[in-house]
Amino acid sequence: MYSITAVAQRLGLNVVRGHFRCIFPERHAHGDRTPSVSINEDGGFFKCFVCDEVKGKAVALVQLVMGISKDDAIKWLSDDSPSIIRDSQKFFLKKRAKIEDKPDFFKEKMIFEFLSMLSPIQPYSAIGWWLANRGIYKPTWDKVLLRCIDDYDFISNKLLGKYSLEDLQIGGLFNSYGKLRYGRRPLIIPYIDEKKRPFFFQARAIDKNVSPKELNFQGSIPFPYNKSALDGKPGTVYLCEGSIDTLTLLQRGFCAVGIPGANTFKPEWVNFFSNKKVVLCLDNDKAGRAGEERITELLKSAGLETKSFGLLPEGEDINSWFNARS
């Protein structure tokens, strides 16, 4: 059985004394500052005091936070075993607890060094073709600093030459098998701020048999993807689900930012959107529509103007929509 605590942490939720903040904080007083979701570690389930549907086992938690299907949630979990199974939980928590003992910016420094070891995407490479097939071309790749793991063993060894395995595991780059993560997800999409400093990244599969397609760097997501679009100047910004949709819009000259999943928008991010009119273009599926409703409420309560893109047929996302029409 999976450890709910370990799963929640791997999803970037902040677990404090067996509780974490509800993924629908707007339904709670003070944005759920005093966390309402309790974890029953022995029973292997979680439950929100307020929200009826925020409860269940590990699979349900992954589905809720990432907005993915049950099948994908099961695969996501099995992909990350054994670090999140209960038997290894003590080991895992001990390791996790130690990140606080690390110097400031330990994780940030590790992300920076990892990304600087990676190569830019080459035209005519497999990833280059994959992006071009989605209508996303080199000037956009270069602008947002897309990277790839083109030689997995080389990068692994280079990291191991610089850091101890334990540090790489605490930092989140290596799994509990002692291997660099992201082996089957070689497209690395950094989350950079307006000064081009990377604080987070997402690893994306280009092989359609790999599921789920994306794997986030561990820990909390600091800000929406392509944050530099949120410059505080008056204008319209498109809010998409996923970095590929964001890149699709950037390629076509729109101002766009992304969130990694329909439910990953954090209430405090509303502040980043000042002076912007926000057009929501989350996927037209159940998770996407619920996410739009929730984000609309959050933005509106901050006095921001929002509207829904409203053009996506059932089941489509921005990338499939544009590519079917260009």
Site stretch for Zn ion (CB under 5 A), options 15-23, 75-83, 95-103, 147-155 = 15-23
Query: Whose Cβ is closer to Zn ion: residue 89's or residue 263's?
Result: 263
Q: Do the strands 235-241 and 256-259 form a parallel or antiparallel pair, or are they unpaired? A: parallel
- The nearer residue to Zn ion, 172 or 267, going by C-beta atoms, is 267
- Strand order in 214-216's β-sheet? 119-120, 147-148, 187-192, 198-204, 214-216
Using the rule CB under 5 A, is 61 a contact of Zn ion?
no
Q: How many whole angstroms separate alpha carbon 150 and alpha carbon 203?
A: 13
Strand, coil or helix: 241: strand
Tell me: does residue 48 bind Zn ion (CB under 5 A): yes
Counting contacts by CB under 5 A, is residue 51 touching Zn ion? yes
Q: Using an 8 Å Cβ cutoff, are 9 and 96 in contact?
A: yes
| 37 versus 215: smaller Cβ distance to Zn ion | 37
Of 32, 30, 63, whose CA–CA distance to 212 is shortest?
A: 63
The Cα diameter of the chain in Å comes to: 53
Nearest-angstrom CA–CA distance, 84 and 62: 12
Q: Which of 7, 11, 15, 22 binds Zn ion (CB under 5 A)?
A: 22
60 binds Zn ion (CB under 5 A): no
Which residue lies nearer to Zn ion by CB, 57 or 184? 57
Between residue 244 and residue 303, which ones bind Zn ion under the rule CB under 5 A? none
Residue 50 lies near Zn ion (rule: CB under 5 A): yes
Closer residue to Zn ion in complex, CB, 51/160: 51
Contact at 8 Å (CB) between 194 and 233? no
CB of residue 49 to Zn ion, shortest distance in Å: 7
| Positions that interact with Zn ion (CB under 5 A) | 22, 24, 48, 50-51, 54
